[in-house]
Structure 1
Amino acid sequence: MPTERITFTGHAGDTLAARLDLPEGPHLATAVFAHCFTCSKDIPAARRIAARLATMGIAVLRFDFTGLGHSDGEFANTHFSSNVADLVAAAAYLEDRGMAPDLLVGHSLGGAAVLRAATQIDTAKAVVTLGAPSDPAHVAHQFDTHTDQITSEGQATVTLGGRPFEIRKAFLEDISNQNLSKCIASLNKALLVLHAPRDATVSIENAAQIFEAAKHPKSFVTLDNADHLITNPKDAEYAAEVIASWVGRYLTLTPPAPPPGAPEGVVRVSEANPAGFLQDVNAGPFHHALADEPLAYGGSNRGMTPYGFLSAGLGACTSMTIRMYARRKNWPLDHVWVDVCHNKIHAADAEAPAGQKVDQFRRKIHLEGALTQEQRARLLEIADRCPVHRTLEQSSEVVTQLA
């Protein structure tokens, strides 16, 4: 996933630091990601969601709000309304680049911010929230022991996530004056609400209130046992996959015509986790799968192995070939399924004599229906005409070049 380190001007004229995660193929749409309260653009959940959307052709801008992360400005001078203004500025920057945002994604208080900002970003067609509060004033509970000091003295230094932050009275006043319900009701965009029932920071009731206030189209998906920051990689992967599946309904993701010499288009495989072996496998913006290795081989077992994909290709092609023939002959084939097993002695690869087969695919074909023995035998013969079968049995040419 190519990433541009960029800057743009925030609501108060400060320089905001951002990453623009770009698709490795055609650019089909653009998203903006808003991080959680006092977090940054680089939290693991943001990186995984951005990476997954990029595989679909969606560029993702994730940035640090004023005074946070690598952005300039004083955090003490910011509040919820300034976060919203930073989001609007991010959208304007993208529009100036000819990449006006189609999707807004917000985590925690960033989720509340995108709900507010969405009414000012006309190009956005869909909004996603993760663990978002229905009322921005909810964040005040994180420093409620300092509320009296902030009110009486005008400010106080509070510790959030192990770091000191200066919270001023203007921040409390700003969040207390927000009313998201009317904003959500007039959103006029597709909405996806993601929330974990056991979220100890923002309770699940907030998701219910957001969902109830919104008009259709709207969707709610539980994040099960995820924590508020979605720190578990499996939870981040699940959230990313749900968002990717959902957003395809509401964004126009039309890929260009396939390049010459590739009539079925390009299958793009990219690392999902450089620390392991997990891979995103995409054939266009809508067909996605995960490839991985078993735990015993250092993988996380979250997708089929490369040889599993080979077996799947053989099984799918066999089933399709049989169905096409039976349909053409009008034979009573009710159902067909194919079991494929692959066997390979990995240690023998480098030592095998030239021409010796070290791979074996065992294929068991199941045919249901009132077929005669002659018809069944004929369909078994037809299975051997499966194009993938022929490709595997014959030599193939693999042409490789460095991009």
Structure 2
Amino acid sequence: MDNRKAVFAGTDGHALAGRLELPEGEIVATAVFAHCFTCGKDSVAASRISRRLAERGVAVLRFDFTGLGQSGGDFANTTFTSNVDDLVCAADHLKDTTGAPSVLIGHSLGGAAVLAAARRIPSVKAVVTIGAPFDTAHVEHLLGPSRTEIEAAGVAEVLLAGRPFRISTGFLRDIKEQNQTACIADLGRALLVMHSPQDDTVGIDNARLVFDSARHPKSFVSLDGADHLLTDRADAAYVAEVLAAWASRYLK
């Protein structure tokens, strides 16, 4: 496989850092992978799933959202809406360099982002969510008591997964204003919902709500025994294999 660096401009003009996983042979499809909240393009799930898909002929662009990983910008100035805008920028970059994406894949909050971004990317034929919340405001529970400090000060540093992140009131306001029900109902693309019944970060009820809100064609795959971050290599491999087989039905 060919793993290349990718750099492109995000919604605010900051340079976004990505990795393009290319198959050794013919490219049968292209995809964009959106990582989980505060994770990055090199997270276990993003890297392992992208590489496994490349083995199946799918070229995958995974990238760091603004203010995360190696991408430019200040995370404190980002919102869910800006993440969706970054996704559209990633799709445009892929279209200009490798081929317009036919698949969007999102993990956790990245799953909510691909559901919102799909209608703005005409080439997309299939959308896949992995451990995604139905309501974007779901991430508020991760902030705990820091939410009060954020609302009082306008911005505050919050420890998430042992790392400090600056979260603003703009982010809190934005996640409350999203209408994910409408995005899902009007998706107009094939949808695959993947979720673990043992997910203790984003409960399995979220998968039911996403699935019930969507129109056909739609599918659900249970990731029984997997944790939210898919830290077990076998779980990530399983996701990639099922995803590639499912998506092939909707690709030329």
Normalized against structure 2, the TM-score is what?
A: 0.98
CA distance in 2, matches of 1:65, 1:153: 24
Amino acid at match of 1:200: D
Counterpart residue number, 1:38: 38
Q: Distance in 2 between matches of 1:239 and 1:58?
A: 14
Per-residue deviation, residues 76-112 of structure 1 (Å, max 9, x unmatched): 0001000000000011111222510000000000000
CA distance in 2: counterparts of 1:236 and 1:96, whole angstroms: 29
Deviations 1:206-251 (A, max 9, x none): 0000000000000000101111100011111111111011111111
Whole-angstrom CA distance in 2 between matches of 1:168 and 1:147: 9
Who is 1:138 aligned against?
138
For residues 222 and 36 of structure 1, the distance between their equivalents in structure 2, rounded to whole angstroms, comes to 19
Report what 1:87 is aligned to. 87
Which runs of 5 or more residues in structure 1 are unaligned? 253-403
Q: Is the 8 A contact 1:184 1:210 kept in 2?
A: yes
Q: Does 1:180 align with 2:180?
A: yes
Matches within 5 A, 1:242-391: 242-252=242-252
Q: Does the residue aligned with 1:194 lie in a helix, a strand or coil? A: strand
Q: How many angstroms apart in 2 are the aligned matches of 1:171 and 1:75?
A: 10
The within-5 A match list for 1:26-65 is 26-65=26-65
Equivalent in the alignment of 1:241? 241
1:323 aligned partner: none
Q: Secondary structure at the match of 1:144?
A: coil
Give 1:196's aligned residue.
196
Aligned match of 1:125: 125
How many percent identity over aligned positions? 59
Asked whether the equivalents of residues 126 and 190 of structure 1 are also in contact (C-alpha less than 8 Å), the reply is: yes
3-state SS in 2 of match to 1:242: helix
d(CA) in 2 for partners of 1:105, 1:134: 15
Does the aligned pair in 2 maintain the 1:107–1:131 contact within 8 Å? yes
For 1:367-399, what per-residue CA distance to the aligned partner results, in whole angstroms no more than 9, with x for missing partners? xxxxxxxxxxxxxxxxxxxxxxxxxxxxxxxxx
Secondary structure of the corresponding residue to residue 116 of structure 1: helix
| Paired position in structure 2 for 1:160 | 160
Q: State the 1:121 CA deviation.
A: 0.5
- Which shifted more, 45-54 or 168-177? 45-54
Secondary structure of 2:128's match? strand
1:53–1:240 Cα contact (<8 Å) kept = yes
Q: Which runs of 5+ in 2 are unaligned?
A: none
Per-residue Cα deviation, 1:196-215 (whole angstroms, up to 9, x for no partner): 01111000010000000000
**Could you say if the C-alpha distance between residues 98 and 24 of structure 1 is closer, same or farther in structure 2, counting changes exceeding 3 Å?**
closer
Contact in 2 for aligned 1:52/1:244 (Cα 8 Å): no
Distance 1:16 1:91 in 2: 12
Residue aligning to 2:75: 75
In structure 1, C-alpha distance between the alignment counterparts of 2:166 and 2:47, rounded to whole Å = 27
Q: Which stretch has the larger CA shift, 209-218 or 41-50?
A: 41-50
Q: Is the 8 A contact 1:111 1:130 kept in 2?
A: yes
| 1:56 Cα deviation from its structure 2 partner | 2.3
Greater shift after overlay, 45-54 or 61-70? Answer: 45-54
Bigger mean CA offset, 119-128 vs 143-152? 143-152
| Aligned counterpart, 1:97 | 97
Cα distance, 1:4 vs. partner? 0.9
What secondary structure is seen at the aligned counterpart in 1 of 2:144? helix
Task: Tell me the equivalent position of 2:222.
Answer: 222
**Separation in 1 of the partners of 2:48 and 2:150?**
37
**How far did residue 44 of structure 1 move?**
1.8
Aligned residues of 1:128 and 1:194 also touching (Cα < 8 A): yes
SS at match of 2:145: helix
Q: What is the CA distance between 1:3 and its match in structure 2?
A: 0.8
**Structure 1 runs (4+) greater than 6 angstroms displaced:** none
In 2, the alpha carbon distance for the partners of 1:140 and 1:174 equals: 11
TM-score w.r.t. structure 1 length?
0.62
Question: What amino acid maps onto 1:182 in structure 2?
Answer: A
Question: What does the per-residue CA deviation read over 1:238-276, in whole Å, with 9 as the maximum and x for residues that have no partner?
Answer: 111110111111111xxxxxxxxxxxxxxxxxxxxxxxx
> Highest relative contact order (Cα 8 Å, sep 6+), 1 or 2?
2
For residues 16 and 168 of structure 2, what CA distance do their matches in structure 1 show?
A: 21
SS at match of 2:18: strand
CA-atom RMSD, angstroms? Answer: 0.9
SS at match of 1:41: coil
Equivalenced residue count is: 252
